[in-house]
Amino acid sequence: MNDTPFWQTKTLEQMNAAEWESLCDGCGRCCLNKLEDWDTGEIIWTSVRCRLLDDATCRCSDYENRQAQVPDCIGLTPKEVRSLSWLPPTCGYRLVRDGEDLYWWHHLISGSRDTVHEAGVSVRGRTVPEEGMELEDYEDHLVEWPFEVPDTAR
């Protein structure tokens, strides 16, 4: 019997739907609004969360219908994961894409969905809602932490 975890033996394309969904660590970082510098293509992170992101749980409040409700929501597929440069360095999809292992706090390793929060990786308590905010006000909420690995997470 092979005890090697599926994420170490399968490519993103080989995973079934349950395996694919389980790679999400529940950090909520990908659900933060990002700005793109039109001249350079640089992605700039904000602490402004998607209106569907629950700040307490770091989960989408309407995952099944998210793309209908939020037209610019990007549904992650193997093709998207291979092309997106802005996936956080802690993202399970990105780690598997890059041939790296999951961090100790990922629920597939730890057995708990709380360790992502305990390790300081999630967006819990660090976001502001987008409701009622003008796009030009996003610049007041620029942050770098979503593209960093916290020391507590290493």
pLDDT of residue 2: 75
pLDDT of residue 1: 65
Every domain of the chain and the residues it spans: 6-146
Give me the amino acid identity at 82: R
pLDDT of residue 88: 96
Return the ∠ at Cα 144 (arms to 142 and 148), rounded to 5°.
Answer: 160
Instruction: Give pLDDT tens digits along the chain (154 positions).
Output: 679 999 999 999 999 999 999 999 999 999 999 999 989 989 999 999 999 999 999 999 999 999 999 999 999 999 999 999 999 999 999 999 999 999 999 999 999 999 999 999 999 999 999 999 999 999 999 999 999 999 999 9
Exposed / middle / buried, residue 58 (Cβ in 10 Å: 0-12, 13-18, 19+): buried
Give yes or no for a contact between 43 and 34, defined as CB atoms under 8 angstroms apart. Answer: yes
Determine phi and psi for 136, rounding to 5 degrees: -65, -20
